[in-house]
Amino acid sequence: MKPLLIMKTGSTLASLRARGEDFHDWIIRELQVDPDQVHITAVDEGETLPATADVSGVVITGSPAMVTDGAPWNDVAAEWLREAIAADLPVLGICYGHQLLAYACGGKVDYHPAGREIGTVDVSLMQASDTDPLLADLPAEFPAHATHSQSVLVLPANAVHLARSEHDDHHAFRVGAAAWGLQFHPEFDAGIMKTYIEERASDLREEGWDVDRLLAQVSDTPEATGLLSRFARLAGF
């Protein structure tokens, strides 16, 4: 069987990497696939992506980078994603990957005018999710972990709007038959989410956030996390 590609666009916090953990480790765990069936390409480090015909699907990681930074590898990845979409290859973009997918398809990505979104947030499904291959049968509202300053401000013209939160109107969308963007992090557990809040505590307080309340509101997110294994099944695993 062809491997599942993880397109790595950056790394997590140094404190979490020091524990031997990174975005791809959490994604592989929650995909519930054999690690030997996963190929990892760090596109942000200039590694060459495999041909779209040589993989069963792709998950695009989060990143501390910003799409608006205009790094050259963004356009390399965007061209690859357009080829993947044209071939109906299963694609799942997470946070930065969600924004990169939107950028690749003509959407607008930039800093959210209301600032960052962080913590365990309530994600609400749109009616179109009822028949969506990935999101169908989920509760109308479910908790998910989020941490981002940039957002998809305008969806691609051909996108199907699938979910939103109170802060961010575009938490999930689909383009083509099998390419999804998720602004939230299905690979995060409660401990990871708390670490992100704790490490950003000083900035958050300056921005007016109640950090203690944010930490107290962190919860498990089984519906969000389960989307990774759902995606793996759609990719044939």
> What pLDDT, on the 0 to 100 scale, is given for residue 145?
98
Residue 108, domain extent: 4-234
pLDDT score for 156: 98
Which residues, listed in sequence order, are joined to residue 123 by a DSSP beta bridge? 142
In the annotation, is 207 catalytic?
no
Residue pLDDT, tens place only, 147-168:
999 999 999 999 999 999 999 9
Please give the pLDDT value at position 107. Answer: 98
pLDDT at 150: 98
Which residues, 6 or more positions from 10, have their beta carbon under 8 angstroms from its beta carbon? 23, 44, 61, 62, 63, 64, 65, 96
Which whole number is the average pLDDT over 195-205?
98
pLDDT at 157: 96
Asked about 105 being catalytic, the answer comes back as no
Query: What's residue 90's pLDDT?
Result: 98
What pLDDT, on a 0 to 100 scale, did the predictor assign at position 131? 97
Asked whether the beta carbons of 180 and 228 are under 8 A apart, the reply is: no
Note the pLDDT of residue 183: 98
Candidate list 98, 170, 171, 185, residue with the active-site label: 185
CA dihedral (78, 185, 114, 175) positive or negative: positive
Mean pLDDT of 192-209: 98
pLDDT at 93: 98
CB 11 within 8 A of CB 64: yes
Share of the chain above pLDDT 90, in %: 100
Mean pLDDT across 35-60: 98
Could you report the per-residue pLDDT of 9-23, keeping only the tens digit for each? Answer: 999 999 999 999 999
pLDDT of residue 20: 95
Could you give the number of structural domains in the chain? Answer: 1
The sign of the CA dihedral 101, 107, 108, 111 is: negative
Active site residue 185: yes
Judged by DSSP in three states, 33 sits in: coil
Which pLDDT band holds residue 180 (cuts at 50, 70, 90)? very high
pLDDT digits (tens, 9 = 90+) for 68-86: 999 999 999 999 999 999 9
Catalytic residue, chosen from 30, 95, 148, 171, is 95
Non-local CB neighbours of 198 within 8 Å, separated by 6+ positions: 211, 215
105: pLDDT confidence band, cut at 50, 70 and 90?
very high
- The pLDDT assigned to 117 comes to 98
> Which one of 30, 98, 105, 187 is the catalytic residue?
187
Average pLDDT, the chain: 97
Q: Which tens digit of pLDDT belongs to each residue from 209-232?
A: 999 999 999 999 999 999 999 999
| CATH number, domain with residue 117 | 3.40.50.880
- Average pLDDT of 109-123? 97
